[in-house]
Amino acid sequence: MEKSPLKTEFKGFLSFLILHELDQKPLSGEDLAKKIGKRKGSQLTPGTIYPTLKRLRKLHLVKYKRFGRRKVYELTPDGKKELKSTYRIVGTYFQGLSRFLKAGR
């Protein structure tokens, strides 16, 4: 199996969703869990979101600033590049499905 050129890979789209949300504005882990959970229709646990944030930090795609005990995450320049590449790949994967998605199938 060929390895993806993207650092994020697609582990349930969580990395992609985190990068997407952080591209909109900096957010805490708790805020990310709420936003992504709402989109997904369920609640995300810290055990889901924080390991992915840690991995994205190690890949230098996100960084955080500390405000007391609260960490607010934002994209790095590499994270912005990664997200742009990911948008292209996701668009290619789902390009042929748009008519089915619009029809609600």
* Rounded Cα distance, 100 and 78, in Å: 33
Q: Is residue 60 part of a domain?
A: yes
Q: Is residue 65 part of a domain?
A: yes
98 φψ region: left (φ > 0), alpha (ψ -120 to 50), beta (else): alpha
Global model pTM greater than 0.85: no
Q: Which domain holds residue 46?
A: 14-103
Q: Is residue 7 part of a domain?
A: no
Q: Is residue 1 part of a domain?
A: no
Q: Is residue 48 part of a domain?
A: yes
| The pLDDT of residue 93 is above 70 | yes
Higher pLDDT, 63 or 46: 63
* Rounded Cα distance, 7 and 5, in Å: 7
| The pLDDT of residue 76 is above 50 | yes
Q: Is residue 20 part of a domain?
A: yes
CATH number at residue 87: 1.10.10.10
CB of 23 closer than 8 Å to CB of 80: yes
Domain count, the chain: 1
| The pLDDT of residue 2 is above 50 | no
